[in-house]
Chain A
Amino acid sequence: MAVWRFRHFILSSILNDFKLRFIRSGLGALWGVIHPLMQVLIFAFILSHVMANKLPGIDNPYSYAIYLMAGTLCWSLFAEVMQRSLTLFIDNGNLLKKIAFPRISLPVITAGGVLLNNLLLLVSVLFIFVVLGHFPSIHLLWLPLLIALTLALGLGAGLVLGVLNVFLRDIGQFVPILLQFVYWFTPVVYMATIIPEHYRQWLALNPMYTMVEAYHDVLVFGRMPDWWGLLPVALLAMVLLGLAMILFRKASPEMVDML
């Protein structure tokens, strides 16, 4: 298996990326934690009074901030892996043109790098939870599964669009806009309960709605996620990854010519 043979390269690429961010800026990879947390702070500051009373099932004065952090943890993983997969082939064009190596390494490196950043954020978030007096329940143990699922979903969608983006560069411009839309149709900042009932069923079409709600279940409300609801999301992630693989195989002969 090519990934195994090139494990040293993959690992050193991920670590190099991480190290480089510290070389280029003093706080380095910590900025990957500071950005989402600042966003949480801003939303918490502006919206906490509007939202605070509408969060049932949790007894903590900082409940809204906790809710925000759980959702942001999920969303930032999805958004980052999607954005980086989108430009993966274009960013590595030079490498692909000049050196023959198993191309599968590239998405693995991306996924690994994003995961590393997200784990840093997770550690920070859990630390803040404890400081705020919110102790996660045993259901926290489900989180690795949810992280894997979010990663697979973002990687699948990102790679499908990433392969097409090499040929149709408009996709690269359009996807950030799409991500903005999906963000606001995902209950990260608000509670799904504030959406009128007859609109809420449409929200369920957004796989990220299901994902973020599962994060909320595990991190905020301390209960088991809705596995039946997550099953279609898992299937979608698999289909997207499969599709990405097929597209990549088909595109490979011509991809380098277009970079």
Chain B
Amino acid sequence: MSILDVRQLGKAYRQYPSELHRILGWFGLGRAPVSEHWVLQDVSFSIAPGEAVGIVGQNGAGKSTLLKLITGTQFPSTGSVAIHGRVSAILELGMGFNQDLTGRENAFHTAGLMGFSRDVVQEHMPDMEAFAEIGEYFDQPVRTYSSGMQMRVAFAVATAFRPEILIIDEALSVGDAYFQHKSFNRIREFQEQGTTLLLVSHDHQAVRSVCNRAILLEKGRLLKEGNPNEIVDFYNALIAEKEGDDSTIRLETLGDGTVRTISGTGEATVISIQLLDTKGRLLEIVGVGDTVTLYIKVKVNAFISRLVLGYMLRDRLGKSIFGTNTHLLGRELENVQAGKLIDFRFTFVANMGPGSYSLSTALHSTRTHLENNYEWRELAHVFEVANLRHAEFEGCNWMEPSIEIR
């Protein structure tokens, strides 16, 4: 049983010879449209209750249109959306607020717009006020608010009542860090209570860590659907591909079923990655706080005027832990001849929390991989970190404290 069913959904903007023909068209008269511009085509998926689904894609890929069709503010040209439950959408926070009314009055009004009765809103009002945490401003006109304060009130109202489906469009990237954490916690709470989540975000960390599934939209079509790490990696590769025409995206399935994405034009390629201890021995498990050397062997297949190698450490959820490259470290190579083998050794102290980590590598020519992407390799190497020598601790980073008690 799914809570949301999207079938062959499509949205077209039609251009008519004149607007009069559009109006006549409603009654089967007038001329046919001169042009049709499809922003979304043949998108089908369904979501089970309690799932968290991320939608990724470039600007103009149709993400926001898809959300608007699901919330019902826009009407599809083809296909259908079936929803079984109450939807709350945070499409653009703070909108609909009247600048001359107070936060409290606006909260009343907006909750009314969501279809709640005055009594119910009254009952939840203390919660909203407490969640927004804007103090006396709650009874001041909204025009005196900062944008962050407006967004706090808006988020408090939008999430005052737990919906069956919560739709969020980029809303989480606004506001200060404290409130972002707070909103994330509320979303997590909802999720635990069974709310289905649909999230559009350019913040891929959020997609990786919150969602259990992701959908990639490209030019109005559903390009790929699956595990969020896999989809975000594929999306990154796709962006890199846009820059160089002759690059390819390759997917390799690893032993445990995860998918490694490799993309790039191939002038240079990583041929081996190893983690070594201080004596040069291969490490299977890295101890917390150990000094390790990341040894990356690169083969150059064609002449490259400028070569940069970068790597990124990610945790189990795909969250970035640390990343750098030889450009940032001031050691880029110039005029590298074809056929050359280069050894890179990065030595660092692994002050990481215990757990499973992955390593991605990138070979490119400048600061980022967006220009001349020779090779981009996700999940290039996976390794474990275990706490072998230190006292037990929580978290993703080992920060040994010195302690003093008086």
Q: Which residue of A lies closest to B116 (CB)?
A: A8
Taking the nearest CB of chain B, how far is it from the CB of A197, in angstroms?
40
Give the residue name and chain of the A residue nearest to B121 (CB): A8
Q: How far is the CB of A14 from chain B (nearest CB, A)?
A: 11
**Known contacts A20-B101, A251-B26: does B19 contact A98 (CB below 8 Å)?**
no
A193 to B91, CA, bound (A): 59
Query: Is A23 positioned at the interface, with any CB of B under 8 Å from its CB?
Result: yes
Contact A97 B96 (CB under 8 A): no
Flag if A101 contacts B100 (CB, 8 Å): no
- Return the CB mask of A9-30 against B: 1 if under 8 Å, else 0: 1001100100110011000000
Query: In the complex, are the beta carbons of A16 and B73 less than 8 A apart?
Result: no
Task: Report the stretch among B107-115, B287-295, B395-403 that lies at the interface.
Answer: B107-115
The 10 closest A-B pairs by CB, nearest first: A9-B112, A250-B26, A253-B75, A100-B72, A167-B19, A8-B118, A8-B112, A100-B71, A8-B117, A23-B100
Q: Does B258 contact A (CB under 8 A)?
A: no
Task: Give Cα A13–Cα B110 distance, bound, in whole angstroms.
Answer: 10
Instruction: Confirm or deny: B139 has a beta carbon within 8 angstroms of a beta carbon on chain A.
Output: no
In the bound assembly, the distance between CA atoms of A101 and B116 in angstroms comes to 12
- Distance of A24 Cα from B109 Cα, bound (Å): 18
Q: Does residue B20 face the partner (Cβ distance < 8 Å to A)?
A: yes
The chain A residue sitting closest to B87, CB to CB, is: A100
Contact B113 A99 (CB under 8 A): yes
Besides A20-B100, A95-B96, 15 other A-B contacts (C-beta < 8 A): A5-B115, A9-B112, A24-B100, A95-B95, A98-B73, A98-B91, A99-B73, A100-B71, A100-B87, A101-B113, A164-B23, A167-B19, A167-B23, A168-B23, A256-B74
Known contacts A8-B112, A12-B108, A168-B19, A99 near B96 by CB under 8 Å: yes
Q: What interface size band does chain A fall in?
A: 20 to 34
Q: Does A39 contact B (CB under 8 A)?
A: no
Asked whether, in the complex, the Cβ of A257 is within 8 Å of the Cβ of B74, the reply is yes
B26 and A98 form a contact (CB under 8 A):
no
B22 within 8 A of A: yes
Beta-carbon contact of A9 and B109 below 8 Å: yes
Contact A100 B108 (CB under 8 A): no
The B91-132 residues at the A interface (CB cut-off 8 A) are 91-92, 95-96, 98, 100-101, 105, 108-109, 112-118, 121
Q: For residue A94, which residue of chain B has the nearest CB?
A: B95
Which of A12, A20, A96 is within 8 Å of B73, CB to CB?
A: A96
Task: With CB as the reference atom, state the residue of chain A lying closest to B106.
Answer: A16
Which B residues between 39 and 94 are near A, CB-CB below 8 angstroms? 68, 71-75, 77, 87, 89, 91-92
Residue of B nearest to A2 (CB): B115
A9 to B109, CA, bound (A): 6
**Which of A23, A99, A101 has the most C-beta atoms of chain B within 10 angstroms of its own C-beta?**
A99
Q: Contact check, B100 vs A256: say whether CB atoms are below 8 A apart.
A: no
CB distance from B15 to the nearest CB of A (A): 11
CA distance A95 to B114 in the complex (A): 12
Chain B: interface residue count, which band?
Answer: 35 or more
Chain A residues positioned under 8 Å from B22 (CB to CB): 167, 254
Q: Which A residues, 83 to 122, have Cβ-Cβ distances below 8 Å to chain B? A: 94-101
Please indicate the chain A residues that have their CB under 8 angstroms from the CB of B113 in the complex: 9, 95, 99, 101
Residue of B nearest to A252 (CB): B75
Interface flag for B13 (CB, 8 Å) = yes
Nearest chain-A residue to B91 (Cβ)?
A98
Check: A45 CB closer than 8 A to any chain B CB.
no
Contact present for A100 and B19 (CB under 8 Å): no
Complex Cα distance, B20 from A164, in Å, reads 9
Whether A98 and B75, one on each chain, are in contact in the complex, defined by CB atoms closer than 8 angstroms, is no
> Distance (Å) between the CB of A257 and the closest chain B CB?
6
Rounded to whole Å, the gap between the CB of A31 and the closest CB of chain B is: 16
A residues in contact with B115, CB < 8 Å: 5-6, 9, 101
Residue of B nearest to A247 (CB): B26
CA distance A212 to B297 in the complex (A): 92
| Residues of chain B within 8 A of A251, CB atoms compared | 23, 26
B322 in contact (CB, < 8 A): no
Residues of chain A with a CB closer than 8 A to B92's CB = 98
Complex Cα gap A119–B314 (Å): 67
Q: Mark A236-259, 1 if CB is under 8 A from B, else 0.
A: 000000000001001111101100
The answer to the question of B27 belonging to the interface, with a C-beta cut-off of 8 Å to chain A, is: yes
Contacts of B14 in A (CB 8 A): 254
Contacts of B20 in A (CB 8 A): 168
- What is the minimal beta-carbon distance from B96 to any residue of chain A, in angstroms? 6
Is B112 touching A100 in the complex (CB atoms < 8 A)? Answer: no
Smallest CB–CB gap between B65 and chain A, Å? 10
Q: Report A58 CB to chain B, min CB distance, Å.
A: 44
Complex Cα–Cα for A137 and B306 (A) = 97
Neighbour of B95 across the interface among A12, A98, A101, CB < 8 A: A98
A-chain residues with CB within 8 Å of residue B121 when the two chains form the complex: 8
CB pairs A–B below 8 angstroms (27 shown) = A8-B116, A8-B118, A9-B109, A9-B112, A9-B113, A12-B109, A12-B118, A13-B112, A16-B98, A23-B101, A94-B95, A94-B96, A95-B95, A96-B73, A98-B92, A98-B96, A99-B89, A99-B96, A100-B71, A100-B72, A100-B73, A167-B23, A168-B20, A247-B26, A250-B27, A252-B75, A253-B77
